[in-house]
Amino acid sequence: MHPPPTGDTLALALAQIRVEATEIDANVERALEAITRAASRGADLVALPELFNVGYFAFDSYERHAEPFEGETFSRIRAAAAEHDIAVLAGSIVEDLAATESVVTPAETGLANTAALFDATGELQLVYRKHHLFGYQSAEAELLVPGERVETATVGGVTVGATTCYDLRFPELYRELIDAGAELVLVPSAWPYPRIEHWQTLSRARAIENQCFVATINGSGRFESADATLLGRSTVYDPWGTTLASSGDEPSLVLAEIDLGSLERIREEFPALRDRRL
């Protein structure tokens, strides 16, 4: 049993939705339904998986379904955030950088794996473009350009940062976020079988070594063309690396309380971050 919250708390929901290759309308509808459901359950913030609209493994359709930041997918998500009074981490789309108008881009052309955090009024608070592009049995590194910016935003009194999937293997990125004040890192992903141990171990390690909350948001579903099945298991870890809430591999809504009081207490009682030698 976990102790009751002792400080500011944030009700977090992870929307592990089914993602089907190139079924844009159906995938976005599932995301919108998850936002509605999370709001009805009292969540302050809901996070969606990586490339929840097009499907990560649908590489042949990246260019065809790329959108500007101001395109239909993010526009519908931000409208849903405002309608339901809930912050949303739109776990990522394939962004057409050349067509984007309102957001600073890391390159003038190309495609990026882009996540956006909208607050409960629909206002943009954070943009994260995936830094580390996957090359192993994946065309992502060939098709997309990496992001450069590391940002944080405040949601319900909690300082939030974001990374994406493969980024979990690069702990220096998480140190940057911690140095920027992050207390909760959201990790939208499309993590497949069979690498369950990597998914769980890396996520837990990022939470432990940075004494922060880490929430991993995976999708559910199979991609026949790539012979890949998403393993689900969306999970919220506390700063000790303890699992607060998690799922199996089927679509689900994972709910957990982010308690800043416990984070502050852990950092005070076990001051590993203060003992860093740079």
pLDDT at 107 over 80: no
Residue 1 lies in a domain: no
- Element of type H or E holding 37: helix 24-40
Burial-class residue 273 by CB neighbours within 10 Å (0-12, 13-18, 19+).
Answer: middle
Q: What's the pLDDT score for residue 106?
A: 67
Residue 234 lies in a domain: yes
Q: What's the pLDDT score for residue 278?
A: 83
CATH number at residue 83: 3.60.110.10
* Catalytic-role residue among 20, 95, 165, 183: 165
Residue 4 lies in a domain: no
Q: What is the DSSP string of 92-124?
A: EEEEETTT--SS--SSSSSEEEEEEEE-TTS-E
Please count the CA atoms within 13 angstroms of the CA of 247 that sit on its side-chain side.
Answer: 24
pLDDT, mean of residues 65-90: 97
Q: What's the pLDDT score for residue 7?
A: 52
Residue 24 lies in a domain: yes
pLDDT, mean of residues 29-36: 98
Residue 123 lies in a domain: yes
Separation between Cα atoms, residue 87 and residue 72, nearest integer Å: 18
Q: Give the number of domains in the chain.
A: 1
* Catalytic-role residue among 20, 50, 67, 183: 50
Distance of CA 278 to the CA centre of its chain: 28
Residue 2 lies in a domain: no
Structure tokens at 206: 């990022």
Coil, strand, or helix at residue 140? helix
Mean pLDDT of the chain: 94
pLDDT at 104 over 80: no
Rg (CA), the chain: 17
Residue 97 lies in a domain: yes
* Catalytic-role residue among 130, 140, 183, 212: 130
Q: Convert the pLDDT of each residue in 143-188 to its tens digit.
A: 999 999 999 999 999 999 999 999 999 999 999 999 999 999 999 9
Residue 13 lies in a domain: yes
| Residue 212 designated active-site | no
Q: What is the DSSP string of 205-268?
A: HHHHHHTSEEEEE--EEEEGGGTEEEE---EEE-TTS-EEEE--SS-EEEEEEEEHHHHHHHHH
pLDDT at 2 over 60: no
Range of the domain at 74: 9-275
